[in-house]
Structure 1
Amino acid sequence: MEDIEAFAQRLMSAEGSTREDYLQALEYLDIAVCEALAVGQAQAGRMAAPCVGYGTYLFARMCSHGVAAVRAVPFSRWVQSDHQEWGFNVLACHARALLEGNLYFHYFMQPTNDELDEGRARVTLLQLNDCTSRLKMFNGVDEQRVWYEQQRLELQERLRSIPYFQNLPPAVQSQCLAGKKAWFLDRAQLVELIGMDKAGFDILWDLWSQHSHIHPVSFLRMEPNGRGTGLECDPDRIYLAMAMVVSAGILGDATDKIVEVFPDVAGERKGLDSKFRPGPKRNRRR
């Protein structure tokens, strides 16, 4: 099978894609999902540093979106159907989630500065953001609101006591204490962290966001019996193929990182024959 990077470059330079290109992209995604699930299940339940532990939670969410993606696209072996839906919207939201989740996954898997207690700061900030979000959702429920308000105060105080946080610019500290940030890095810094071109990231983010929502780009160029109608057409087929290849690359890189941290699970990566449950019959453990 053609190298995934070479295949992606060929797709990007092409004006359209054939059914064969689409099926090859689907196989790349299928392999990536299978290997990610097998490796993820093999490392589950391990003791790890807190940041790595949260990184494995993020990896699990990425695997979930990977499964949803490979089940949503036409001609997937994961689903039996007498109808194929070719609208790019079936995949856009899951591809976008993987693009975003990949930033946060690598952020938590990065080494921390133990002298400044950076790992504890990362986890505390994450918990504070979660607490603040839940407080907004349950603001009308007195019992929940009182509990989350108390927890928020405790987390803010804990964050203020950590040397890593104390060394941050005052403006960043203010945003963090308000619960507006879940990560100390902004998006540009996170994109740089994973080594991705920011302009390329932004194009994918905007395109996939437009199709995840019902925004103008998702419907202004709909064509009778063509783009955006759910029927097979060149624009949606190439959008689907590119999103599958990028998603496969993201899952593959994340799986590499899990194997780097837990090297004993490397043998679980067996392509389409990787074993996990639940899943297609071919992949179930016996």
Structure 2
Amino acid sequence: MVNGLHDQQSEIPESDYSQSLKKMDVATCEAMAVSQAIKIDHVAKHIGYSVHIYKRICRHSVSLVSAVPRSRWVTSDFENWDFACAAGQSRAIMEGYLLFRYLVIPPSCNDEWVTKLLVLYLNDRVRRAKMMADLMATEAADQWSSEIEELRIRLNSNPWFLALDTEVRKGCLSGKYLMVQNRDQILELAGLDRGQFNAAWDLLSQYAHMLPMLFTSSEPDGRGSGEENQQDKDYIGATVACCADILNTATNIMTTEFPATKIVRQGIDSIFYKGPKSNHPEFPKNHR
């Protein structure tokens, strides 16, 4: 971080940020191309569900690369250098990646896969039922509550689920858990450092929500103001580079599962819909 921020606006180095932005641009282009080339007919169920999560990660990546300053994905007459512009989408990418890694693992048996699916659906139904109840939508809340009971009955008749630790079963049946394994276990599986991940998660959460770190660190014409400054540039650059690495790993997994998609990974020249005009299939390559 740079001291004397207000006197050094014109001296902020651009190379590191530009490299990080290009890295995210390339990763998003390739991921979008791969996601659109995937054919999920006749694939294992856990792979089919993983594809849905992967595509959602891709959409958050598009939102991220479209939100940060100097991206070719958006034409704007101003630049917003507030780190908060990147925090929410980056956090969603990290969260989605953990769920993706959890679901893409080949289950040991069908009962394990069914357990994972039922726990995921139970977590969803519990949230929906509470939301409807809070809105005083009694009929909708009762409908979701009915599904909750059906899911619990199915879990309690599943041999793989019944072999789990008592506390794990309790958390799953309450709808508290989205995944059977906890976050630390998924991080270990994904080869991610727990301390670093948790620190990055906490930092992004501060800026994705209205928490004290967000506004107590603000400076006039500097950090948190939206004006170009070294702190926000460093945070945004580091975050998009991290998300690019996550996205690349997820794309590597998908191209392993769907080898025919490898050919569409052409870096920034990848062809796909819903992106910069130069990446559209109708746009001639010699015009880039």
TM over 0.5: yes
Instruction: Give the Å deviation of 1:21.
Output: 1.1
> In the alignment, what sits opposite 2:49?
54
Q: How does 1:60-139 map to 2 (within 5 A)?
A: 60-114=55-109, 117-139=111-133
CA distance in 1, matches of 2:262, 2:76: 34
CA distance in 2, matches of 1:180, 1:67: 30
> In the alignment, what sits opposite 2:280?
284
CA distance in 1, matches of 2:266, 2:40: 22
> In the alignment, what sits opposite 1:147?
143
Is the CA contact 1:29–1:248 (under 8 Å) kept in the aligned structure 2? yes
> In the alignment, what sits opposite 1:13?
none
Q: Secondary structure of 1:117's partner?
A: helix
Instruction: Give the Å deviation of 1:143.
Output: 2.4
Change (3 A) 1:125 1:17: farther
Q: How does 1:1-286 map to 2 (within 5 A)?
A: 18-114=13-109, 117-139=111-133, 140-286=136-282
Q: Cα deviations across residues 262-281 of structure 1 (Å, max 9, x unaligned)?
A: 11111110000111111111
Instruction: Give the Å deviation of 1:145.
Output: 2.1
Instruction: Give the Å deviation of 1:258.
Output: 0.7
Counterpart AA for 2:34: V
Identity rate, percent = 39
Aligned residue-pair number: 270
Is the CA contact 1:121–1:165 (under 8 Å) kept in the aligned structure 2? yes
CA distance in 1, matches of 2:218, 2:227: 11
CA distance in 2, matches of 1:202, 1:237: 21
Deviation larger for 244-253 or 122-131: 122-131
CA distance in 2, matches of 1:275, 1:262: 17
Q: Secondary structure of 1:164's partner?
A: helix
Instruction: Give the Å deviation of 1:48.
Output: 2.4
CA distance in 2, matches of 1:214, 1:150: 35
Q: CA RMSD in A?
A: 1.4
Counterpart AA for 2:84: N
Instruction: Give the Å deviation of 1:142.
Output: 2.8
Deviation larger for 128-137 or 141-150: 141-150
Is the CA contact 1:121–1:162 (under 8 Å) kept in the aligned structure 2? yes
Is the CA contact 2:152–2:173 (under 8 Å) kept in the aligned structure 1? yes
Unaligned runs of 5+ in 2: 1-10, 283-288
Unaligned runs of 5+ in 1: 1-15
Is the CA contact 1:98–1:247 (under 8 Å) kept in the aligned structure 2? yes
Instruction: Give the Å deviation of 1:146.
Output: 2.4
Counterpart AA for 2:49: Y
CA distance in 2, matches of 1:100, 1:108: 13
CA distance in 2, matches of 1:59, 1:148: 27
Is the CA contact 2:40–2:48 (under 8 Å) kept in the aligned structure 1? no
CA distance in 2, matches of 1:106, 1:45: 18
CA distance in 2, matches of 1:213, 1:186: 23
Counterpart AA for 1:120: V
Q: Secondary structure of 2:221's partner?
A: coil
CA distance in 2, matches of 1:206, 1:266: 35
Is the CA contact 1:51–1:123 (under 8 Å) kept in the aligned structure 2? no
Counterpart AA for 1:22: Y
Is the CA contact 2:29–2:267 (under 8 Å) kept in the aligned structure 1? yes
Is the CA contact 1:50–1:123 (under 8 Å) kept in the aligned structure 2? no
